Chains A and B, each alone.
Chain A
Amino acid sequence: MLVERYAAETYRLAAAIVGEADARDVTQESFVVAWQQLPRLRAPDALAGWLRRICVNRSRNWLRSAGRRGRPASLDADLGLAERLPDARRDFRGAVEARALLEPAFERLSPDQRAILALHYSMGYSIAEAADALGIRVGTAKSRLNAGLVVLRQAIGQEDSPPASEIAS
C-alpha cells in the first residue's frame, strides 16, 4: 500500500525540514494531498518523486505558517537527537553543544534553504534529485545549499568557511 511503502521516508523528510514535533502532521497532510490528487497523477512511475515534492512543499508551507507557533526548542528532542548522532562520536555533551548552536541557526534558515539542506544532506538525495523535488535548477540548488551552509558555519564560529563543495556528503 502507498502509505506503508512511503510513510517512513516521508516522515523522515518532513522531520528533517520542519522538525520532529510537526513531522507527523506534515506526513499526514502530504498523504491526504497525495490521496486526493492521485486520480490526476498521470505517470504512476513518478509516484515517489511526486510524493517527495508534495512533502517538501507541505513542509515549506508549514514553516511559513509556523510563526504563530514560534520555533521549537525541545529538551526531549535534544536528548533524542543526541542519541542518534553517529556512534563514533559518543560525545553527548559535544553533540548537545553542537545542536544547541546549530539548531537555532537551522531554524533561522529560510524554508527553501532548510528544504535543500534536508534533501541533500539529511536524506542523501543527489543535488539533481533535490533540485527536482524543489522544482528548481541545479545551479539554484547549489546556491541555496551554499547559503545555508554559510549560516550554519557562522553559527559554530568558522570564520574561514570552505566552499560548499568541500563538504559534500
Chain B
Amino acid sequence: MTDDLILHYLQSRGGAQPPIDLVGSVVDAVTDAPQQRASRFAPLIPVAAALGAAAAVVAVAILLQQPPEVGPTPSQSASMTSSAPASPPPSDRPEAIGDVLLEPGDIVEMPAIDGSGEWGVIRLERGDEVVPTDPGWSTYEEGSVIIEIHVRYTAERSTGEPFGDFDWGLRLQDGVPDVVGPDILPATSNPDRVVATSLGNQTSMTEGSAMAGWIALEVPIVDESPAVLLTYQGGERPSGASQAPTWEVLVRERDRNAPPTAGGDLLQPGDAAILPAVGPDGPFGTITLDRGHDVGGYPLVLSPSSTSHFFVEIFATYELNDVPGGAQWGDLDWRMESEGGTLGVELVDAFPPVRGRVGLGQWPGATVPQTHYSGWMIFAVPRETANTNLQLVYQPAGIADATRIPVRSPGEAPAPVAAEWPRPDPVYVAQNGLPITVLESSEADTLFVDADTCTNPDGGYTVTYPDSWYTNTALDNVPACSWFSPTYFDLNESGDLPEEIAIEIRVFEGAVGFIWADLYSEQITLDDFTARRFETGKTKDPETPTDEFQYDYLVALDVDSEGRKLWAFTGTDHGGEYELNKAVFDRIMASLQWTESSP
C-alpha cells in the first residue's frame, strides 16, 4: 500500500453525504434553542419583579447528632416546614435573588422551559444540609449528606408538558470517580426531616398558577469534596439527549484549604487561586484553579508511562461574564514550566483514560447557556524533574504577558502506578481447515476434538460446536441452534434466555447502526461476507467502572445496509467462563456454513 491509500481514506472521510433531513433537524434544534441573552448569567436569569411577598414560616430546630465528613458543617440550623403547593416561598428574609444556593435562604430564580421555550419562573431557595442519623438510610456506602431545596414554579403562560421533580439532577463538578450517581430524593423519604411536602410533578399548568415543594438532594461523601451543582433539565433539548444544555446552579462549594486568592500559589492539594480570564479583547471572566494531587500514574493511562512521568492535577473553573469573541480558550492556554523553561511537560487528555477527571477542553467561545466551565488539566511531568520548582503558566493566544503560578516545590515524585489498560492483546492463530483465525486456546481445541453440528433453518446456517456443550431446539420465537451452553439448560415457556447460555446467534434484517468497540475490532471475511468481530467493555466508562465485556461477530449478508445480518455474541453476563466462551465462539463462527436456501 502507498500513501495514496491514506489520502483516499482521508478524502473519503470528507465525502459523507448529509442526511436528507439534516437541514430540517438543524433548524428544529436552532429554533428550540434560546438565543444568548445579554445577562451575565443567562441560565439563571433574575426576574425583575419579585413574585409575591415572602412569608414567615414555622421553624423547628432539630439537633443533628452526627456531623458530616465533608462539606460545610451542618449547624443546628432551623429546618423548614413544608409549604403547601402554591404557597409563598419559605424564606422570611428580604428578597435577595442571587446566583448560587450555598447558604440556607439563598434564592435563585430561573426560567421554566418547555419545548416551546420559557413558560414561567422557577424560584429556588436553599434549605439545610442534613446528615442522615440512621447510617443504613444512605444510598451510598460512604454515607451521604442531604441538601434541601425549595422549588416553586409560577406559570407566565400555560404549558402542556410535564414538569416537576424529574426536572432536577445533581452534578459533582469534578467528576469524582466511582460515584453511584447523585440522587434526588423525595423529601418525605428522609426520616430525619420535618419537611413533608415533596415537589412532585404535574403534566400541565395554566397561566398564573403555581406549584411548590421540596426536593432533597443526596450527595455522596467522597474522598475529595467537589463542588455540587443542581441541574435543571426541563423541556426538550435542541440536540436530543446528548450534550444537551443544562442549567446549573451551585449548591455547595468545593472544599479548599482557604478561599481562592489572586496571586496565591497551588503548592498543596486543596490550595486555590483566582485570576482573570483574558482574551485578545480583554478580560472576560475569572478562572479559579484548584490544586489536585500529584499522582504516580493512572491505571488506564499507558502513555506517558508512569515509570517516566508523574502527573500533576489542576482543576480549572471558568466563570464568564462576557463571551470571548471568536477566540479559542481553554486548556490550550496553559503550560507547565520550571524557572528555567519548559521541561517536556505535556498535557494529558484527561478523559476518558483518567476516571472521574473530565478534561477542561477547548472552546471557540461560550456554549450558551452556560457561563460556567470547568475541568481537569493533568500535566505529565518527567520524573527526572521532580526536584525542580514547577510553575503553571497561563498565556492565551495573543496575550504577551504570561501569568505564572507556583504549583510544585522540589520533592519526591509519587511512586509509579502500573497501567492496567488495555488488557493484553488477544492472540489469534490460524488453524488448518478454518477460514478465519481463532483465539489461541488449547482447552477450546480439545473441546472441538469431539464436535457436533446443528442447523438453524430460519437463519440458514449450520455450525459445529463441542459435543459436550448444549444447544436449543426450536422455540416459538427462537430458532433451533441459536443458543449454546457448556452446561445443560432448561427452556422456559416464555422464551427468555436461560442464564446458562454462553453464546447467542441471531439473524435479522435491518441496519445495525454503530457499535462501540473499544477493546478490539477486526474486519474479517466469513464465506465471502464482510464481517467484523469486536470486543467491547465498560472499563473505560468512568460512570460504570466495572469489568463487563462482550465479544461479538457481525456479518453483513446483504450489501444493503438495511439488509440481512447475522449477529452473534458472548459476554461476561452470560453463562460459562468468558475467555473460554470467546475461544469456543471463534471456532463455532469459523465453522459456519450457509445452507442452500440462504442467505
Residues of A bordering B, CB below 8 Å: 1, 3-4, 7-8, 11-13, 15-16, 19-21, 23-25, 27-29, 31-33, 35-42, 46, 50, 53-54, 56-57, 60-62, 64-81, 84-86, 89, 93, 95-100, 102, 104, 106, 110-111, 117-118, 121-124, 135, 149, 152-153, 156-158, 162, 166-167, 169
Contacts and interface: CB of A to CB of B under 8 A. Distances in A.
A21 B328 contact: no
Contacts of A23: 16
A23 to B, nearest CB: 6
Contact of A73 (B15, B362, B517, B530): B517
B323 interface: yes
A73 B30 contact: no
Contacts of A42: 325
A40 B18 contact: no
Given A53-B326, A65-B351, A27 B22 contact: yes
B554 A153 contact: no
Contact of A61 (B34, B240, B363): B363
Tell me whether chain B's interface is mostly helix, strand or loop, or mixed: loop
Given A68-B542, A110-B349, A20 B16 contact: yes
Nearest to B534: A73
B359 A64 contact: yes
Contact of A39 (B8, B13, B36): B36
Contacts of A54: 364-365
Contact of B511 (A4, A39, A76): A76
Contacts of B29: 28-29, 31-32
Contacts, number: 247
25 contacts: A4-B23, A7-B18, A12-B14, A12-B18, A28-B240, A46-B326, A54-B365, A56-B364, A64-B351, A65-B358, A67-B352, A67-B353, A68-B352, A70-B517, A73-B517, A73-B532, A78-B532, A85-B12, A89-B8, A106-B13, A122-B14, A135-B397, A152-B9, A156-B5, A169-B11
B397 A27 contact: no
A7 B22 contact: yes
Interface in B534-589: 534, 536, 540-543, 554, 556, 559, 561, 565
Tell me whether chain A's interface is mostly helix, strand or loop, or mixed: helix
B365 A37 contact: yes
B552 to A, nearest CB: 10
Contacts of A74: 512-515
A154 B365 CA distance: 36
Interface in B451-505: none
B384 interface: no
B239 A32 contact: yes
